[in-house]
Amino acid sequence: MRKLATPSLLVAAIALALAAASTIRDVPAATIVVPPDPSTMDAVTLVSNACSKCHGPSGNGVSISPLFPILAGQLPVYLETELKLFRQRGRSDPRARGFMWGIARGLTDEQIRGVALYFSKQPPVPGRPSSNPALADKGKLLYENGAKERDVEACIVCHGANGEGVNTNPRIAGQHRDYFVREMVQFRGRLRENKVMQDVTQKLTDDEIAALDEYVSTK
Amino acid sequence: MPPELTPFGRRFKLNGYTLTTRPALVNDIDDYKRNTVWLTDLPGVAILAQIGYDHYDRAPPDTGNPYPAHAQSDTYQFPDQFSLVYAGAISDRVGGWLQLTYNGQAGSVGIDNIDLRYSDHTVNNSWLWGITANNYLTFQDVWNGFGSYALPNFNTVTLWSGGVAGAGLSGPIINALGPGTVGGIGAYAFYNDSLYFEFSEYHSALAGGASPTTDSASLAANGGAVDRFAPYARIAYERDWGYHSAEIGASALYVNWIPSVGYISAQQALAATAAGNTYTPAQTFYPGATNRYTDLSVDWQYQYNGDHDIYGFMGHVTHEQQQNSPLLVAATFTGASSPIYTNPTDNLTQLLVTAEYFRDRRFGGLVSFTRTTGTSDPLANGGNGSPANQFEVFELDYVPWLNFRFILQYNAYQVVANNQSPFYLSHATFPNSPAFPNVKASDNNTWVLGLWMDF
């Protein structure tokens, strides 16, 4: 298999040599922009060519399958942080490994900023009335007050009154319900890195996660 | 694996296999800032290996020939198939699937499936369009309801594949126009992530034969050749919601087919008679004889790609009308050798339905049911002339890693070419061989142990 790569490397070397030869002419190499090179794609092109395949086909950041999170209206700082984590393989939950490591690997800082800004400007998905108000109320109580006796911090402190996110802490309102639950379970199982979330979720039962999910989905 | 395409896989393929955010290894331009070379930094070469072990419910007997082959059960195909595959971007908008395969039964390496694509799309992806050049009708399709990658897709070649069952089972021509037989080019469009249109046309591209000649050797090897061009149209509608993806589609294919038949010309017959010999008809084409096939298919698919579990139901019905050349039909036959068909027109209908389930993307299985019926044509099919077959495939899979699949399969046959002896191709010679009485379709039943690896 290695041997098969050799011809293309050879072609590459020749092409590089040709490229070097062509730069002898007075074409300022630094200012040349070749649009099809992914490393020079702008945010819109990146979203159109890559992100939209999983995170909403029209580029609105609203994914169809709950396997993938909704990015519409997400905080740009959070998206930027996560994309950089994917790029340096600092986030190793299974889906990050399976999908985002490869995607983020070649992105530049500028592209990451652009994509983060793009998705943050998409209108977020509005909440829906709960079909189980009792469960939602239980979730609301936990969301707003935490559980002091077990040293569980209230979600509202970091994620805002309506789950809209604060600073580097993400928007959780309008997220796919299955995605929300899965991430909580992954924090609890220490599959996804984040010290605060790992500690908080340790103390939560499945029922409490379901209650939080029910409440957040109304936001 | 499981190897049918998910909604994501379909879009990757329709986008010309080019989804990448990686910088090109080399990206050179000319004075007009046009791309002159673009090389991906990922070679993307994969090895695909299939190993199979077959056990027959009833061991195939030796044939009745003077020097019988010693047929046996418990055979091992190592490898059944071994392929080198490049699947990925070739340029920024061009990509492909190029497969070179060593086939254990043929004992040779040959060109296998090839699909080269150019694609582009609007910024909001409401329109995606492309061009595909491929050598396998239905290989370019992104739904797995029918054609080359329809489930079940692990098929070892059974002992009697050269005879009656296996490759010898009747089926519509749409499944038979593969590598070494045809080459085609098509244009497609995918609107709003849901509505798919394609129009392709295929030509004869016989392996091992000089083009455009259709010489008798390559005709015989491939069973015939496409005459002029074969148009193919496809329409499909997909709807995705949550973890679900559903599709319904239809296709139409028209083929003028030059069949490879046992032919002897009047001059050859005269010369043979004059010399006091009998002349064995050569497998070649009969001058001017082409059959016309019209295949109409409806296919459907439902997939659930959950966080842990996957299941799906898929299937197709293909109805084929085969208009036989009057030159080959008994009533109008004027040649020196024997006519090939009893009827001026033959019909064939095939139904294939499959259900599969995978738990935790690790343990799974499938059940598939195939039923083929058609008009009785004793000259074409032998025996009572029915092309019918009916069988089920039961499969258990274990996928310890995503690229390793262990397979245990049981193939159960109820009807095999009108229940002729599964072991004798020339049933007329052995209508009910005393050596093997009570031969029935279920004698074909086969256990298969398989291993499929991609790396």
Tell me whether residue A148 is in a domain.
yes
Q: Which of residues 263-322 of B touch A (CB under 8 A)?
A: 305, 307
Tell me whether residue B394 is in a domain.
no
Give the model's pLDDT for residue A4.
38
Q: What is the pLDDT of residues A75-132, one digit of tens each?
A: 999 999 999 999 999 998 888 888 899 889 889 999 999 999 999 999 999 999 999 9
Q: What is the pLDDT of residues B101-139, one digit of tens each?
A: 998 877 889 888 999 999 999 988 899 999 999 999 988
Chain A partners within 8 Å of B13 (Cβ): none
Q: Which residue from B25, B45, B124 is facing A58, i.e. has the nearest CB?
A: B124
Co-location of A8 and A69 in the same domain: no
Higher pLDDT, B154 or B49: B49
Co-location of A96 and A137 in the same domain: no
- Give the residue from A120, A147, A178 where a domain finishes: A120
Tell me whether residue A127 is in a domain.
no
Co-location of A18 and A69 in the same domain: no
Give the three-state DSSP class for A114.
helix
> What are the residues whose beta carbons fall under 8 Å from the beta carbon of A121, sequence distance 6 or more?
none
Q: Which amino acid is at B200?
A: S
Structural domains of chain A, count: 3
Tell me whether residue B299 is in a domain.
yes
Tell me whether residue B392 is in a domain.
no
Give the residue from A10, A65, A110 with the most B CB atoms within 10 Å of its CB, the best one to mutate: A65
- Give the residue from A77, A93, A120 where a domain finishes: A120
Tell me whether residue A126 is in a domain.
no
Higher pLDDT, A161 or B69: A161
Structural domains of chain B, count: 1
Co-location of A112 and A163 in the same domain: no
Which string of DSSP letters, residue by residue, matches A154-169? PTHHHH-TTS--BTTB
Give the model's pLDDT for residue B49.
85
Q: Do B26 and A1 touch (CB under 8 A)?
A: no
Q: Is the pLDDT of residue B428 over 60?
A: no
With bands split at pLDDT 50, 70 and 90, how would you rate the model's confidence at B274?
Answer: confident
Tell me whether residue B282 is in a domain.
yes
User: How high is the ipTM of this complex?
Assistant: 0.79
Tell me whether residue A125 is in a domain.
no
Give CA B23 to chain center in angstroms.
37
- pTM (two decimals): 0.85
Give the model's pLDDT for residue A192.
93
Chain B partners within 8 Å of A33 (Cβ): 33
Q: Is the pLDDT of residue B269 over 90?
A: no
Give the model's pLDDT for residue B404.
84
Alpha helix ranges (H) inside B328-381: 378-381
Give the model's pLDDT for residue A189.
93
Tell me whether residue B377 is in a domain.
no
Q: How far is the C-alpha of A22 from the C-alpha of A167, rounded, in Å?
A: 48
Helix or strand (DSSP H, E) at B213: none
Q: Does B106 touch chain A (CB under 8 A)?
A: no
Give the model's pLDDT for residue B72.
63
What distance, in Å, lies between the first and last C-alpha atoms of chain B?
A: 12
Q: Do A19 and B15 touch (CB under 8 A)?
A: no
- Give the residue from A62, A90, A120 where a domain finishes: A120
Q: How far is the C-alpha of B437 from the C-alpha of A135, rounded, in Å?
A: 70
> What are the residues whose beta carbons fall under 8 Å from the beta carbon of A170, sequence distance 6 or more?
A74, A75, A78, A159
Q: Is the pLDDT of residue B2 over 50?
A: no
Co-location of A95 and A64 in the same domain: yes
Mean pLDDT for the stretch of residues B196-213:
83
> What is the extent of the structural domain holding A6?
2-31
Higher pLDDT, B20 or B329: B329
Tell me whether residue B443 is in a domain.
no
Co-location of A22 and A45 in the same domain: no
Tell me whether residue B383 is in a domain.
no
C-alpha separations of B84 from B40, B97, B165, B180, B242 in Å: 18, 10, 29, 17, 35
Q: What CATH number corresponds to the domain at position A157?
A: 1.10.760.10
Tell me whether residue A142 is in a domain.
yes
Tell me whether residue B149 is in a domain.
yes
Tell me whether residue A128 is in a domain.
no
Chain B partners within 8 Å of A105 (Cβ): 21-22
Q: Which of A168-177, B60-69, B201-210, B345-354 has the lowest mean pLDDT?
A: B60-69
